[in-house]
A = this chain, B = another copy of it.
Amino acid sequence: MPPSDNDHELTPMGDADALQARLAEVQTLLARHRLVEDLVHRQEMPRHDLVESLVHKRHLAELRGKLDKMHPADIATILEALPLPDRLMVWNLVKAERDGEILLEVSDAVRETLIASMAPAELTAAAQTLDADELADLAPDLPREVVQSLFQTLPHEEREQLRAALSYPEGTVGALMDFDMVTVREDVTLEVVFRYLRRFDALPDHTDQLFVVDRNDVLQGVLSLSRLLVSEPETEVTAVMRSDTLRFTPHDPADDAAEAFDRYDLVSAPVVDAEGKLVGRLDVAAVLDYFREESESEQLAQAGLREEEDIFAPVWNSVKNRWAWLAINLVTAFIASRVIGLFEGSIEKLVALAALMPIVAGIGGNSGNQTITMIVRAIALGQLSPDHARRLYRKELGVSLINGLVWGGLLGVLAWALYGSLALGLVMTSAMTLNLLLAATVGVAIPVTLARLGRDPAVGSSVMITAVTDSGGFFIFLGLATLFLL
């Protein structure tokens, strides 16, 4: 059972200011400590001067005391906000038995730096303080030898749980679930249930319901604590339990389960295998983490970052993290450049084209991204039947037509005024309108096609649409200009 929060001071409200204040405290203590170290190091003080050594120790002891009282999530935040040497010094001050829960809380990139600083024996000890489901989260980052020695030291039941948890791929309910189930039988009275619960030191976190199982662990229903508490103790479990409850299997997509938690306001839900046997539990804390990680990695992906970065990691790590995206964009930009290259003769004759063409391409990209965002959303909400796709496409075409005529018209007038050519203005307006219609078409087609192919319509859509509206915009504008102006 995870240690309860009772013995940690919770940052009042967990707000950014309070955390900043704590961080500043830690940094002050570290700075004082370093000052003494520096003096000793520069030999301005005899190395073994007793008094100084005491001062030195006092700062570290004070820091250790503060850390002991902090919630693991807060310590994790502080570790993430410290440069590597400071980070490792604080890490060494943290009590060994808390290493495990803190490793679970820090970001992947920072976790790597902490694990790299620990000996295998330390890591094994830290891992042993964790539940099987937590271990499964940590295992991929641990050295192979540590995982092996863990398997050898775990009690049988937990070993099986760990094996099970490790077997479910990321993105499934199995990878998110824990094993903190409290089970009861259906043929006992609530009085018996009360007596049974009193034998616990504490119920697992987020226990809002007990799972009712038969002799073979097959789930019969759930008994909510609320029902338990408002019913008469003489009642039998079977009379107050709910049997038509939502249940998941370990292979269900985590997305669906998370959606159900949000939709039906759940706190916990049972996870059963194909035979209906209770194998785990999903709770709202895991779902909340999942939502936040998903929305974060989506944000990072949208900017072309492969993963979160440790802000104190070497430059090289950041370069690798951002490389792929820049390379892809370089390719699409190069293609667009070659499209312009086709019309160099036209540009030579009418140089105004060079100044105006990026506007056509850019606005097309913006409008296309708006369309894609709407369509991806409609797909995610299950609103996009084939029937509706056509309807939506017509609508997007309508929006593009209006925007093309209005904004394209405005730009046409500007081009006319700037370069004194009505024909150039008309080409500008037509090109804008056509490129916006292209953006709408491709903006609907890309996510719909990706979804039909069973791929995530959100991933990569934005690069693709920009590539199309850039090259397409240049081609349409320069092509029309070549046809009608030269």
Which one, B73, B199, B326, B414, contacts A334 given CB within 8 A?
Answer: B414
Within 8 A of B (CB), among A396-438: 396, 398-399, 402-403, 407, 410-411, 414, 418
Residues of chain B contacted by A311 (CB below 8 angstroms): 374, 378, 383, 388, 392, 395
Residue A74 CB within 8 A of the other chain:
yes
Does A366 lie within 8 Å of B304, measured CB to CB? yes
Interface string of A330-371 (1 = CB under 8 A from B): 100110111011001001100111111111011100110110
Does A262 lie within 8 Å of B246, measured CB to CB? no
The distance from the CB of A264 to the nearest CB of chain B, in whole angstroms, is 6
Does A299 lie within 8 Å of B373, measured CB to CB? yes
Does A13 lie within 8 Å of B374, measured CB to CB? no
Residues of chain B contacted by A329 (CB below 8 angstroms): 362-363, 366
Please, which residue of chain B has its CB at the minimum distance from the CB of A294?
Answer: B295
Residue A198 CB within 8 A of the other chain:
yes
Please, which residue of chain B has its CB at the minimum distance from the CB of A301?
Answer: B373
Most buried by B among A260, A292, A383: A383
Tally of A interface residues using CB under 8 Å: 139
Residues of chain B contacted by A13 (CB below 8 angstroms): 246, 248, 252, 256-257, 260
Does B309 lie within 8 Å of A374, measured CB to CB? yes
Which one, B5, B9, B81, B263, contacts A71 given CB within 8 A?
Answer: B263
Residue A49 CB within 8 A of the other chain:
no
Residue A315 CB within 8 A of the other chain:
yes
Does B322 lie within 8 Å of A403, measured CB to CB? yes
Does A351 lie within 8 Å of B352, measured CB to CB? no
Does A260 lie within 8 Å of B337, measured CB to CB? no
Residues of chain B contacted by A262 (CB below 8 angstroms): 288-289, 292
Does A398 lie within 8 Å of B315, measured CB to CB? yes
Interface of chain A, main secondary structure: helix
Residue A140 CB within 8 A of the other chain:
no
Residue A377 CB within 8 A of the other chain:
yes
Residue A486 CB within 8 A of the other chain:
no
Does A303 lie within 8 Å of B369, measured CB to CB? yes
Which one, B198, B244, B383, B385, contacts A9 given CB within 8 A?
Answer: B244
Please, which residue of chain B has its CB at the minimum distance from the CB of A325?
Answer: B366
Please, which residue of chain B has its CB at the minimum distance from the CB of A230?
Answer: B200
Residue A44 CB within 8 A of the other chain:
no
Residue A207 CB within 8 A of the other chain:
yes
Q: How many copies does the complex hold?
A: 2
Known contacts A252-B13, A330-B407, A383-B80, A336 near B309 by CB under 8 Å: no
Expressed in whole angstroms, the Cα–Cα distance for A285 and B263 within the complex equals 9
Does A347 lie within 8 Å of B351, measured CB to CB? yes
Known contacts A227-B202, A315-B398, A363-B330, A284 near B288 by CB under 8 Å: yes
Which one, B80, B356, B396, contacts A381 given CB within 8 A?
Answer: B80
A15-23, A59-67, A126-134, A157-165: which one contacts chain B? A15-23
Residue A43 CB within 8 A of the other chain:
no
Does A19 lie within 8 Å of B382, measured CB to CB? yes
Expressed in whole angstroms, the Cα–Cα distance for A207 and B194 within the complex equals 18
Residue A155 CB within 8 A of the other chain:
no
Which one, B261, B326, B370, contacts A403 given CB within 8 A?
Answer: B326
Residue A308 CB within 8 A of the other chain:
yes
Residues of chain B contacted by A363 (CB below 8 angstroms): 326, 329-330, 333
Expressed in whole angstroms, the Cα–Cα distance for A326 and B199 within the complex equals 65
Please, which residue of chain B has its CB at the minimum distance from the CB of A302?
Answer: B302
Expressed in whole angstroms, the Cα–Cα distance for A429 and B77 within the complex equals 40
Please, which residue of chain B has its CB at the minimum distance from the CB of A73?
Answer: B263
Residue A459 CB within 8 A of the other chain:
no
Known contacts A322-B399, A344-B355, A374-B305, A256 near B15 by CB under 8 Å: yes
The distance from the CB of A288 to the nearest CB of chain B, in whole angstroms, is 5
Residue A483 CB within 8 A of the other chain:
no
Does A356 lie within 8 Å of B337, measured CB to CB? yes
Please name 26 pairs of A and B residues whose Cβ atoms are closer than 8 Å in the assembled complex, sorted by A: A13-B252, A13-B256, A13-B257, A14-B246, A14-B263, A14-B264, A16-B259, A23-B385, A80-B381, A80-B383, A81-B382, A81-B388, A194-B229, A197-B229, A198-B232, A206-B267, A262-B289, A296-B377, A300-B377, A311-B374, A311-B383, A318-B399, A319-B403, A330-B363, A353-B354, A358-B474
